[in-house]
Amino acid sequence: MFAPTPLEWIFAMTCFSMYIFCIFTVCLVTFQKGRWVLGILGIFFPFLWLIGAVLPAKEGSRYAVSEGIRRSEEMRRYTS
């Protein structure tokens, strides 16, 4: 029977922690930007989440709408 060493446990827990961190950060940004296919495929290939988070938001997505509101508020604050 295979018994993992302490170093293997540390490596496995580090990778698992990074995966959970990515789910709550990069994955959510990918979905908010309207990149549903990359978000779902990223569950199996997490580097796709990074691609989806870097790509520009689709028009009408939650991220694009909130950025538009934020920019208009900022512009109104600077011009008044």
pLDDT in tens, the chain (80 residues): 788 899 999 999 999 999 999 889 999 999 999 999 999 999 899 899 999 999 999 999 999 999 999 999 999 999 97
Question: With contact defined as beta carbons under 8 Å apart, do 45 and 65 qualify?
Answer: no
pLDDT for 1: 75
Q: Is residue 11, in this structure, part of any structural domain at all?
A: yes
Tally of domains in the chain? 1
Q: Is residue 20, in this structure, part of any structural domain at all?
A: yes
Q: Computed from CA positions of residues 54, 60, 61, 67, in that sequence, does the dihedral angle turn out positive or negative? A: positive
Q: Is residue 1, in this structure, part of any structural domain at all?
A: no
pLDDT for 80: 79
Q: Is residue 14, in this structure, part of any structural domain at all?
A: yes
Q: What is the pTM assigned to this prediction?
A: 0.75
Q: Is residue 57, in this structure, part of any structural domain at all?
A: yes
Domain of residue 66: give its range. 6-79
Question: With contact defined as beta carbons under 8 Å apart, do 46 and 17 qualify?
Answer: no
